[in-house]
Structure 1
Amino acid sequence: MFNVPHHAAPPNVPTKDFFDTKGLDYETTYGHNAGLLKAVDKFAARLRPGCRVLDLGCGTGRPVAHTLAARGFRVHGVDFSETMVGLSRAAVPSPNGVFECAHLLDWASPPPASPEAAQQFGGIVATSSFYELAREQMEALVSRWRDWLEPGGSALLMMVAAEDVPGTRDEMYDPDGRFARGIPFRFMGDDCFLYLFTRAGWRALLEVKGGLVVREQWVEAFVPPREADCDGETNSFLIAEKVVDGGLNYLS
């Protein structure tokens, strides 16, 4: 368990109840993101065939869990919305998919069946799944990723960078310039506020807090359908690796 409680989330962000009511509307809007599908292909090519993949904030299971399962991977998804978990279970039935309803800060990797059995994951993926977390909570969560990944395992992160949202102003940034707070954003008919790292901040989150090495980083534009009543996004993608030979290139 983390020392930072999940009820300390930033104000005015989409809540569990919000996602419980959206369900298939969310999938209709975000389930066919071409940039994300390309990123999942890149990510899958780095994974050990047939390995277990941890999907943090799995949403409806589409496109990420469904695509990975179709490629022969076993997906373990976690989401705090009962509606989203139910849709994931329908999209990726057992045994290819196992989905739990839990807040990301409360979830713990299941213990091994025996002292000799490894329970690490070959991959970890988190796509648009940190928006309800404060900076300290994101850092606490990602600090566990290196323990959850098997040697040589990879992680895929997709988020929005603070500098890529038009409403971000200079006074919103933390003193280190890597995180901005209270950025106005229109999301599925709701006016909310985002709490985001910069592109350099997302990279540092994976490398400094997660102990991983970023291998690829790029951006892709995503324009939601007009009827979704959402702002457009510039999605930042990062693929990182757990290196076991000491070759970590931490950012200062």
Structure 2
Amino acid sequence: MGSGSSGVGQQSGRPDRTGQAEAFDAIGDRYDEAFPHKDGQLATGEWLIGSLPGGARVLDLGCGTGVPTARQLADAGLDVVGVDLSGGMVALARKNVPDALFHQLDIADVRPGGSPELGRFDAVVAFFSLLMLPRAEIPVALRTVHQLLSPGGLFVLSMVEADVDYFAIPFLGNTVRVSGFLRDDLRKVVEEAGFEIVAESSHSYAPAIADVPPEEQIFLRCRRNNG
């Protein structure tokens, strides 16, 4: 799995995912040790950098430790804002990428008019963060991304291909819950949320730690439809 954690708290009848944040607080920078090679993520970041003007605003949704994506984008001169549910991850991101701005935020609060008011973005990245949500909440999160983007804005995301819904797995000595879609189902969910998929790639990935199994990672490069 990729950058970091994302989730919603116990409000309006939503599940309490405090445990998700606590797991990533405990994992900390061991996460980057377990996932040292992120070729698909870096290549997608390079595509985004090449597609945006200098100084463009980018939201890193589920930023994790800030490595590699927030750092990659900030080093390229983009204006990066990162959010993550885990306070421990946000603290590491602030240390790793001092040129970016980071908030500890529930994805339910990352919306136009939310607090803090984040404004609109030229691009949003969500590397392996939406898989921390139950399947039913992923379309809601995608519509939020659509609202946060400027017209024609870019959206890149990655998921692990798996037919699971908020399934508990052991992860770096902790337990997290993850969701996934088969490839065609993921495309459908993304397109129904108002995005055009302009490119797609996949990578077979074997993490550098025994208790995390190999996975098939899907990367989608998308553009916000203006309808």
User: What is the TM-score normalised by the length of structure 2?
Assistant: 0.84
Q: Give the counterpart of 2:206 among 223, 227, 236.
A: 223
**Inter-partner Cα distance in structure 2 for 1:147 and 1:38:** 26
1:122-171 deviations in whole A, cap 9, x for unaligned?
A: 100001112331122111111122221112211110111125xxxxxxxx
Q: Is the 8 A contact 2:94 2:100 kept in 1?
A: yes
SS of equivalent to 1:59: coil
SS of equivalent to 1:28: helix
Percent of aligned positions that are identical: 30
Structure 1 residue runs without a partner (length 5+):
112-117, 164-179, 247-252
**Inter-partner Cα distance in structure 2 for 1:66 and 1:181:** 31
Aligned residues: 215
Q: Is the 8 A contact 1:9 1:133 kept in 2?
A: no
Of structures 1 and 2, the larger Rg is shown by 1
**Which residue pairs with 2:89 in the alignment?**
84
Q: Give the counterpart of 1:42 among 31, 37, 47.
A: 47
1:77-99 deviations in whole A, cap 9, x for unaligned?
A: 11011110011111111xx3110
Q: Which amino acid aligns with 2:123?
A: G
Q: Is the 8 A contact 1:187 1:231 kept in 2?
A: no
Q: Give the counterpart of 1:236 among 197, 218, 225.
A: 218
Matched, 1:189 2:194: no
Matched, 1:120 2:120: yes
- Change in Cα spacing, 1:48 to 1:66, as seen in structure 2 (3 Å) is same
SS of equivalent to 2:124: strand
Root mean square deviation, CA, Å: 2.6
1:194 Cα deviation after fit? 3.1
SS of equivalent to 2:50: helix
Larger CA deviation: 198-207 vs 184-193: 184-193
SS of equivalent to 1:6: coil
**Which residue pairs with 1:206 in the alignment?**
190
Q: Is the 8 A contact 2:121 2:148 kept in 1?
A: yes
- Change in Cα spacing, 1:128 to 1:136, as seen in structure 2 (3 Å) is same
Structure 2 residue runs without a partner (length 5+):
1-6
**Which residue pairs with 2:157 in the alignment?**
157
- Change in Cα spacing, 1:186 to 1:123, as seen in structure 2 (3 Å) is same
**Which residue pairs with 1:137 in the alignment?**
137
